[in-house]
A and B are shown apart, each in its own frame.
Chain A
Amino acid sequence: DAKTTQPPSMDCAEGRAANLPCNHSTISGNEYVYWYRQIHSQGPQYIIHGLKNNETNEMASLIITEDRKSSTLILPHATLRDTAVYYCIVRVALHAGNMLTFGGGTRLMVKP
């Protein structure tokens, strides 16, 4: 799986959009971009994933650049409960057996 680079920490004001960047310059054509988060003392929570196109669900939006070398996770209206470590992972997902490899992630602090 391709390596990803994320800033170690970010702050965001409550109610504002949180934009979390991720670089994955060595991504292959069959690798998806996944985002998970881990709130303190909880299990990792799936947020969203995509291959080429931008994706949106009830939690977040995922913007993938045209060359697929970077992406941005957007939490449109951050709340205090969004404070967590956010992990960007690239993974070949053609087969269920490809496990997730977690890096250091970005520690997002949402402040009042």
Chain B
Amino acid sequence: NAGVMQNPRHLVRRRGQEARLRCSPMKGHSHVYWYRQLPEEGLKFMVYLQKENIIDESGMPKERFSAEFPKEGPSILRIQQVVRGDSAAYFCASSHREVSGNTIYFGEGSWLTVV
């Protein structure tokens, strides 16, 4: 069973460009989470999505960041007009729908570098 797949693994963008990070959840998982880890810092929750719905975006920056999880295809985290402070590792995770004690599994991350 394939794990959570993220691409690209590494992405370099110039200031002002757009970054798109993709995440395919584990097979059978309909819940997706995005986390960000700034250099030498901890993992911070950004957003939680189900298919076609944003459930909790309390950790998303107010501007330039958006996320979607369409009916078909991967979840996308989009960062517009990137700045150097957006340089970080972005981790996607997924879980099965509403199962008691369900476990969240993480992908290997996408490393964004803004130059």
Contact = CB atoms under 8 A, between A and B. Distances in A.
A104 B33 CA distance: 20
Contacts, number: 59
Nearest to B104: A100
A103 interface: yes
Contact of B106 (A45, A49, A94, A104): A45
Interface residues of B, number: 29
Main SS class of interface, A: loop
Interface string B92-115: 010111111111111111000000
B43 interface: yes
A97 B98 CA distance: 8
A93 B102 contact: yes
B31 interface: yes
A93 B91 CA distance: 20
Given A43-B108, A97-B31, A102 B99 contact: no
Nearest to B105: A46
Given A32-B101, A46-B105, A99 B91 contact: no
A84 B81 CA distance: 34
B45 interface: yes
Given A97-B48, A99-B33, A102-B43, A51 B108 contact: no
Given A44-B43, A44-B93, A97-B50, 17 more contacts: A43-B106, A44-B91, A46-B104, A46-B105, A93-B101, A93-B102, A94-B100, A95-B98, A96-B31, A96-B99, A96-B102, A97-B31, A97-B55, A99-B48, A100-B93, A102-B35, A104-B42
17 contacts: A32-B101, A36-B106, A43-B106, A43-B107, A43-B108, A44-B106, A45-B106, A46-B106, A49-B103, A51-B101, A93-B101, A96-B99, A96-B102, A97-B56, A100-B45, A100-B93, A104-B42
Interface of B: 4, 31, 33, 35, 42-45, 48, 50, 55-56, 91, 93, 95-109
Interface of A: 32, 34, 36, 38, 42-46, 49, 51, 93-97, 99-105
